[in-house]
Amino acid sequence: MITGVLIITCRMAAASAISHLFPSASAAYCRLPARSEPSFVSLSIYFPGSCSPPSVQRRSAAFRRRDLLGGIIFVSVLWTESQESKAREVEVGSYLPPFPLDPSFVLFRATHTDTPALRAGNVQPYEFILPPSWKQTRVANILSGNYCQPKCAEPWVEVKFEDEKQGKVQVVASPLIRLTNKPNATIEDIGSPEKVIASLGPFVTGNTFDSDELLETSIEKHGNQTYYSYLLETPYASTGSHNLAKATAKGSTLILFVASANDKQWPSSQKTLKAMVDSFQV
């Protein structure tokens, strides 16, 4: 027989999951913390042999086993998310190497283990530069493509970085099947720069895209790889009123690099953001 006390501390964002994992636990034992700690809630599950209320002790053995297993899974998920968040709170300059051509930047080079899509082989490794003061931010699991790899039908976010004074960047990946029926198509096979951005514009702005927001396009080649570049003025975008983007296709995926800034950030950061976008390659 299992005896003891299982105490779980979790984020309020996940509080709704507790009721599904522990349906037989009494709500009376869910203790909200002081106002100084609004993001946590503690839930204590008592097992026979502890000083638990009689109503809880009367639960069947089946309920107790289910709650214990659910608790182990729940704690595991929270621990993983906590470690990921903690690992990404530092400035990238503390762990990324300087960019050889310009030491005022550092080089981010994705590996085959960095994201769910890279691990699944759906995305080829990519790289770009960024200022050392920037920080990597966690991509929500639902946006990362973690649940649909290796056969995602919709675009997902690979990585995100930001600096509150300069803006933010992200890498978005889209399965080619969403854009063309031709396997292993190049970006030229998909269409013109205008056609590509018409399909992917909402993933640049975070909401909607109007062709009038497109100010400039350009095409460049690096070896056998073709890239489309964009300058957009997007006053209603959730990502920011100024956006730069660069896209290419390789394998079964189209990769989009987006740099965004609001009106306050743009005057001083546009040169830096452009350098970051120009450096992007797969």
pLDDT band per the 50, 70, 90 thresholds, residue 64: low
Distance CA 192, CA 208 (A): 20
For 89-112, the pLDDT digits (tens) are: 799 999 999 999 999 999 999 999
pLDDT at 249: 96
Strand segments, DSSP code E, in the chain are: 5-11, 30-31, 40-46, 98-99, 102-109, 127-130, 135-137, 156-163, 167-175, 214-222, 225-233, 242-250, 253-261
**Do the beta carbons of residue 143 and residue 113 sit within 8 Å?**
no
Q: Do both 35 and 100 map to the same domain? A: no
CA distances from 221 to 177, 186, 187 (A): 23, 12, 11
Residue 109 sits in the same domain as residue 241: yes
117 and 69 in a common domain: no
pLDDT at residue 151, as a whole number: 87
Residue 178 predicted with pLDDT over 70: yes
In whole angstroms, give the CA distance from residue 160 to residue 158. Answer: 7
156 & 274 share domain: yes
Domain count of the chain?
Answer: 2
**88 — pLDDT class (breaks 50, 70, 90):** low
Q: What is the dihedral of CA 119, 124, 129, 134, to 10 degrees?
A: -30
CA distance 181 to 174: 13
Instruction: Give per-residue pLDDT as tens, 232-269.
Output: 999 999 999 999 999 999 999 999 999 999 999 999 99
In terms of domains, do 15 and 120 share one? no
The torsion of the CA quartet 43, 46, 51, 53, rounded to 10 degrees, works out to: 80
| Residue after which a domain boundary falls, among 55, 87, 119 | 87
Domain boundaries, position 28 = 5-87
Please check whether residues 119 and 78 belong to one and the same domain.
no
- pLDDT above 90 covers a percentage of the chain that reads 57
Answer whether residue 180 shows pLDDT above 60: yes
Helix (H) or strand (E) holding 107: strand 102-109
